[in-house]
């Protein structure tokens, strides 16, 4: 009741004020008209739009006003950033890179052997993929912190997609490898194309929530796949869903489990998790979890060798091909059905690899306060995968666990990748025979300990608190991966991300505005309950551009607001609605469908004897309103710079009706 009295008193004050200004025009406040932007040349407008869309960072800025020789050098530096930062490279930086490179090498060697198994490839292919790609990236990449190599999620994805085309990777090993190299080649082509055409924004269509869910689901799936080696099971399902995996595990419980393998696996996993715990507790001991996998491999291999546990059923690696990467150029399919399969698998793998690498690169770039060019990164990642596919590598990208270790080890530049690559080269040349007795259980334990961190409970909880629809996307991707397959989980993640985008575009928010007490400011009455409505006037704000996809909804939503308000007015006995003010500040653009919807709204209001008023349309919108003659249709005197100006113009007319 007090609110109604207050509203009436405020309205009376507004009326007296406006009445006074109406009787004395010389005392009326100056009302600025909405400016019409100057006409632009069509070509210049198109050029500006293209530049803002694809070249927002102005990549050619450094080339302006430079002699031809300087432009050539700048061009080389743009393709090979090492030529730029290499000039200021010092021994102090090399010392940091050397320590970081040796540390990540100790982590990557056992991981690579395990990740190759996830991709259903022989162990040496994981090591190959940590030799050539990091070298290429060191010359072309712009991140100082990313550590390059195979990663768990991409390895699993590639293995799953390849196995859907070639059912038995063991019986058809040669054909399977050829398809893997083909997929890697086209993954590289996809990444280079996206970077060269500056289409990096496409990877942003996979929302953060969907990525969190997909990564978490993939981590659970990867961990479940390791139960084969962890429990010593010989016959294991080729499916990845949790139901099939658990059925396979329990079906072999009575005769398929190997107790020596289980004891070894549990002991090694406990050791690795304890090492990670130490590293988290004391940041100075970051090297403990980094070197723990290699220590566990050395100890377990030595134990199996001296006890000959392999004769008691403990599964071992057996053989890793010695020597550096052989050429695989002649193994890539460049025609036929297998090429098309490789293209399809490569595109999917490329997008996931890019999403992970760019996210990692941006995270560490923000920590060290330098800019990361996403498009350059795509070209670098694509180039290394193209070269990698020709040198017996499968899809490589930025590894979060290795990059975190690289960062904490004090890396200064991409030289740490070169150091790691040299260590992997020496391993391939001289040390691989020593891995013969490495038990599969230790590789499973290493992979499980590595992927546990991909299940981000804190991020999922934060998503739940912030946006429930985002949480649905997160859980949809998670359960899709865990209960169906990696591809279905990825499809759900992409579908929900697009659905959310479409929902926001087609169903934009609208709000009724009211006047804040003792101000000329109008705000959403739901956000500010103390805001009061102006009698006889309905003020609606549209919080989106008006396009063909949402124009009809916006028109109908405004009319529903009007119907609801008229019902309230009739019940309370207040002056009937005579003016509808549409606040257009958030409306960044409008198309022909949007203007047509405004015309229909205008005609509907005419039948109700209600005047349509527009407040603060932006330059693009006002230009189109004039070009379509809509401004002339409603009258240019019905378009105001602010809501306050519009209300001031409406209120004196209301005063005549009321008084």
Q: Do 423 and 555 share a domain, yes or no? A: no
Both 429 and 525 in a single domain? Answer: no
Q: What is the pLDDT of residue 7?
A: 43
Q: What is the pLDDT of residues 266-280, one digit of tens each?
A: 999 999 999 999 998
Q: What is the DSSP letter of 439?
A: B
In this structure, the answer to whether residues 591 and 632 fall within a common structural domain is yes
What pLDDT, on the 0 to 100 scale, is given for residue 29?
57
Tell me how far apart the alpha carbons of residues 170 and 121 are, in angstroms, rounded to a whole number. Answer: 9
- pLDDT for 2 equals 41
pLDDT reading at 62 higher than 90: no
The answer to whether residues 56 and 170 belong to one domain is no
Residue 652: band (very low, low, confident or very high) from pLDDT cuts 50, 70, 90? low
For residues 73 and 189, membership in a common domain is answered with no
Count Cβ neighbours within 10 Å for each residue of 222-235 and write b for 16 or more, e otherwise.
bbbbbbbbbbbbee
Do 474 and 529 share a domain, yes or no?
A: no
Q: Per-residue DSSP letters for 44-94? A: HHHHHHHHHHH-TT-TTGGGTT--HHHHHHHHHHHH-THHHHGGG--HHHH
**pLDDT of 15 higher than 60:** no
The answer to whether residue 84 sits within a structural domain is: no
Note whether 281 and 241 are same-domain residues: yes
Contacts of 555-561 spanning 24+ positions with Cβ under 8 A: 555/597, 555/598, 555/600, 555/601, 557/510, 558/510, 558/582, 558/601, 559/601, 559/604, 561/510, 561/512
Are residues 200 and 306 located together in one domain of the fold?
A: yes
Give the tens place of pLDDT for each residue, 349-363.
Answer: 999 999 889 888 888
Domain end residue (candidates: 446, 475, 502): 502
CB 478 within 8 A of CB 216: yes
Span of 176-190, 366-380, 388-402, 642-656 with lowest mean pLDDT: 642-656
pLDDT tier at 162 (50, 70, 90 boundaries)? very high
Helix/strand number for the chain, H first, E second: 27, 8
Structure tokens that stand for 194 in this block = 């996206």
Q: What domain range includes position 617? A: 2-36+507-658
The pLDDT of 246-268, averaged and rounded, is 89
Name the domain count of the chain. Answer: 3
Residues 6+ apart with CB under 8 A from 401: 107, 111, 450, 453
Domain identity same for 533 and 404: no
What is the per-residue pLDDT for 89?
A: 93
pLDDT tens for 81-113 read 999 999 999 999 999 999 999 999 999 999 999
Asked if 53 and 185 sit in the same domain, the reply is: no
- Confidence at residue 222, expressed as pLDDT on a 0 to 100 scale: 92
The predicted structure's pLDDT at residue 523 = 94
pLDDT of residue 653: 47
**Torsions phi, psi of 523, nearest 5?**
-135, 165
Question: pLDDT > 70: what percent of the chain?
Answer: 94
Distance, in Å, from the CA atom of 141 to the CA atom of 361, rounded to the nearest integer, reads 10
85 located within any domain: no
Q: Are residues 327 and 422 in the same domain?
A: yes
Average pLDDT in the chain: 88
Tell me, what's the pLDDT at 200? 75
* Residue among 213, 243, 238, 217 at smallest CA distance from 228: 238
Whether residue 583 is predicted with pLDDT greater than 80 in this model: the reply is yes
643, 645, 650, 655: CA torsion to nearest 10: 120
Residues 497 and 626 both lie in one domain = no
> Which of 468, 502, 536 is the last residue before a domain boundary?
502
| 247, 251, 254, 257: CA torsion to nearest 10 | -60
More confident residue, 497 or 438: 438
Q: What is the pTM of this model?
A: 0.81
Residue 69's pLDDT is 83
171, containing H or E segment? none
Q: How many CB atoms lie within 10 A of CB 66?
A: 12
**pLDDT for residue 1 is more than 90:** no
Contact (Cβ atoms closer than 8 angstroms) between residue 95 and residue 134:
no
Vertex 278: Cα angle to 274 and 279 (nearest 5): 115
Q: What is the domain-level CATH number for residue 631?
A: 3.30.750.24
User: What is the Cα Rg of the chain in Å?
Assistant: 32
Spatial separation of the C-alpha atoms in residues 306 and 297, rounded to whole Å: 14
d(CA 302, CA 284) in angstroms, rounded, equals 29
Coil, strand or helix: which one is 132?
Answer: helix
d(CA 398, CA 403): 7
Q: Which of 52, 79, 106 is the last residue of a domain?
A: 79
């Amino acid at each position: 009741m007090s609110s109604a009295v207050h509203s009436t008193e405020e309205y009376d004050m507004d009326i007296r004020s406006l009445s006074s200004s109406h009787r004395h025009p010389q005392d009326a406040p100056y009302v600025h008209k909405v400016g019409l932007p100057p006409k632009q040349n069509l070509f210049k407008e198109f050029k500006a739009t293209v530049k803002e869309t694809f070249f927002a960072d102005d990549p050619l800025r450094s080339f302006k006003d430079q002699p031809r020789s300087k432009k050539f050098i700048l061009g080389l530096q743009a393709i090979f950033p090492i030529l730029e930062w290499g000039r200021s490279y010092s021994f102090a930086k090399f010392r940091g890179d050397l320590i970081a490179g040796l540390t990540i090498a100790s982590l990557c060697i056992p991981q690579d052997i395990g990740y190759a198994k996830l991709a259903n490839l022989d162990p040496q292919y994981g090591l190959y993929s940590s030799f050539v790609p990091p070298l290429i990236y060191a010359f072309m990449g712009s991140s100082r912190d990313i550590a390059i190599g195979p990663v768990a999620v991409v390895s699993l994805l590639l293995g799953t997609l390849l196995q859907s085309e070639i059912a038995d990777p063991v019986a058809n090993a040669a054909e399977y490898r050829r398809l893997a190299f083909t997929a890697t080649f086209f993954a590289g082509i996809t990444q280079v194309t996206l970077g060269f055409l500056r289409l990096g924004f496409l990877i942003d269509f996979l929302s953060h929530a969907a990525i969190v869910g997909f990564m978490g689901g993939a981590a659970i799936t990867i961990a479940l796949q390791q139960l084969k080696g962890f429990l010593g099971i010989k016959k294991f399902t080729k499916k990845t869903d949790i139901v099939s995996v658990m059925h396979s595990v329990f079906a072999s419980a009575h005769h398929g489990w190997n107790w020596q393998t289980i004891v070894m696996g549990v002991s090694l996993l406990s050791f690795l998790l304890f090492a990670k715990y130490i590293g988290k507790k004391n940041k100075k001991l970051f090297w403990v979890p980094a070197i723990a996998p290699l220590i566990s491999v050395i100890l377990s291999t030595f134990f199996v060798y001296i006890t000959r546990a392999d004769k008691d059923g403990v599964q071992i690696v057996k053989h890793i091909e010695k020597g550096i990467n052989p050429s695989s150029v002649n193994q890539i399919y460049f025609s036929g059905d297998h090429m098309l399969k490789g293209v399809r698998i490569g595109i999917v793998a490329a997008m996931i690899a890019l999403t992970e690498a760019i996210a990692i690169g941006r995270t560490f770039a923000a920590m060290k306060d330098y800019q990361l060019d996403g498009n350059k990164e795509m070209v670098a990642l694509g180039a290394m995968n193209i070269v990698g596919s020709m040198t017996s590598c499968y899809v490589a990208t930025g590894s979060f666990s290795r990059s975190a270790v690289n960062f904490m080890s004090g890396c200064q530049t991409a030289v740490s990748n070169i150091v790691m690559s040299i260590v992997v080269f020496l391993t391939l040349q001289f040390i691989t025979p020593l891995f013969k007795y490495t038990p599969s259980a230790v590789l499973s334990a290493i992979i499980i300990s590595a992927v546990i961190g991909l299940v981000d409970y804190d991020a999922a909880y934060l998503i739940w608190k912030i946006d429930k629809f985002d949480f649905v996307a997160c859980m949809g991707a998670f359960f899709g991966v865990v209960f169906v397959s990696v591809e279905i989980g990825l499809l759900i993640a992409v579908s929900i991300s697009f659905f959310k985008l479409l929902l926001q575009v087609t169903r934009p928010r609208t709000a009724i505005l009211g006047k804040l007490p003792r101000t000329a400011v109008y705000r959403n009455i739901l956000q500010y309950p103390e805001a009061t409505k102006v009698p006889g006037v309905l003020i609606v704000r549209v919080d989106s551009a008006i396009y063909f996809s949402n124009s009809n909804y916006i028109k109908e939503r405004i009319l529903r607001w009007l119907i609801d308000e008229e019902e309230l007015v009739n019940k309370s006995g207040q002056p009937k609605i005579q003016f509808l003010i549409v606040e257009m500040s958030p409306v960044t653009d409008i198309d022909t469908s949007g203007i047509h919807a405004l015309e229909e709204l205008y005609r509907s209001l005419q039948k109700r004897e209600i005047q349509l008023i527009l407040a603060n349309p932006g330059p693009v919108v006002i230009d189109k309103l004039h070009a379509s003659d809509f401004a002339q249709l409603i009258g240019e005197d019905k378009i105001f710079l602010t809501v306050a100006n519009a209300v001031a113009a409406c209120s004196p007319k209301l005063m005549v009706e009321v008084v």
